[in-house]
């Protein structure tokens, strides 16, 4: 059985403005690799906005608290 994404992508227009950031939107769990994503964004000097909740949230906030803008 295939479960398709319930969001109609035709209703949204992507924005390609260069705002120098990436967004992660989803569960904040260790299996998602957000720790590596944060490290990569720091190394590349690119802002990363993270939206979501999960078991890894408090750990990541504490580990990277000096990098928050």
* For the chain, percent of residues with pLDDT exceeding 70: 99
- In the block, tokens 């939107």 appear at 25
Residue 19, pLDDT > 80, answer no
Instruction: Determine the pLDDT at residue 7.
Output: 85
Mean pLDDT across 23-38: 94
Supply the pTM of this predicted model.
0.71
Phi, psi at 34, each rounded to 5°: -65, -30
The pLDDT confidence band at residue 69, using thresholds 50, 70 and 90, is low
d(CA 50, CA 12): 20
Mean pLDDT across 3-16: 84
Instruction: Determine the pLDDT at residue 39.
Output: 95
* For the chain, percent of residues with pLDDT exceeding 90: 58
């Amino acid at each position: 059985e295939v479960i398709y994404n319930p969001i109609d992508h035709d209703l949204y227009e992507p924005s390609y403005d260069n705002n120098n950031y990436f967004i992660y939107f989803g569960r904040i769990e260790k299996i998602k690799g957000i720790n590596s994503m944060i490290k990569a964004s720091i190394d590349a000097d690119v802002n990363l906005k993270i939206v979501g909740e999960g078991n890894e949230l408090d750990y990541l906030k504490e580990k990277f608290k000096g990098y928050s803008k």
